[in-house]
Amino acid sequence: MRSAPPVDDLTAKARIRDAAIRRFAVDGMGASIRAIAADAGVSPALVMHHFGSRAGLREACDAYVHAQIREHKTAAMRADPSATALLVQLAQLEDYAPLVGYTIRALQAGGEGARRFVEQAVADAVAYLAEGEAAGTVRPSRDPEARARWMAESALGALLLQAPALEEHMDLAELPRWLRAYAMRVLLPALELYTEPLLTDASMLDAFLRARDAYEDPGPEERGP
């Protein structure tokens, strides 16, 4: 039962890494090394042997997931960069459920792993919006970077906030269906908001701009050192 051929199918190190990604996705980032080792069919000691420590395993998973997502994303964009292809993408991510689940758990856990992923998403949003602006489909902004950041952070954040509806135990088989349902629920209000202005006039925006200027540039007599 143990040892077996040097490769069962995958090398043991890879099996541990894959099991860890699944377990982290299902149970959250607090999943125990013992559970991961059991899933991979190895002893906890072997996990330490290959990855040094729990932190080392996390780093290896982070790096692998990042690489996989980047690869899949560029491939998908090359195939069909249209925005409506998004729904098709969502329907097809059965195979990538562990990656998506892991990413959600990483965002939930915070720290450096979450920060890196968010910054990547923001950078993508900046590029998308700049493209749209150049093509004339997106309006220019007073601060394109801030707008892109707000859109990326609110979209990711709303997903993260809703994801714990999947509660402590996350069902990877259900995740693609859940994501598609979530998208259907959210796309109407989001697109509506992005197409027809919420507010009927600019009075709130103007008021904020005035307040901000007053805050950042108070009268000269009250200006401190």
Partner DNA sequence: TAGGATGCTGAACGTGCGTTCAGCCCCGCC
Partner DNA sequence: GGCGGGGCTGAACGCACGTTCAGCATCCTA
What does the binding site for a copy of itself look like in residue numbers (CB under 8 A)?
83-84, 87, 107-108, 110-111, 114-115, 118, 136-139, 141-143, 146-147, 149-151, 153-165, 167-168, 184-205, 207-209, 211-212, 215
Two structure tokens written together for 201: 């006039």
28 binds DNA (CB under 7 A): no
Place of tokens 């042997």: 49
Tell me whether residue 8 or residue 218 sits nearer to a copy of itself (CB atom).
218
Distance of CA 148 to the CA centre of its chain: 15
Two structure tokens written together for 33: 């090394």
Cα dihedral value 169, 171, 176, 178, nearest 10: -60
Which of a copy of itself, DNA, none sits in contact with 48, Cβ below 5 to 8 A by type? DNA
Q: Which of 27, 19, 22, 23 is nearest to 169 (CA)?
A: 27
Which of a copy of itself, DNA, none sits in contact with 44, Cβ below 5 to 8 A by type? DNA
26 binds DNA (CB under 7 A): no
Do residues 27 and 169 lie in contact, with contact meaning Cβ atoms separated by under 8 Å? yes
Q: Which spans of this chain sit near DNA (rule: CB under 7 A)? A: 2-3, 5-6, 11-13, 32-35, 41-50, 53-55
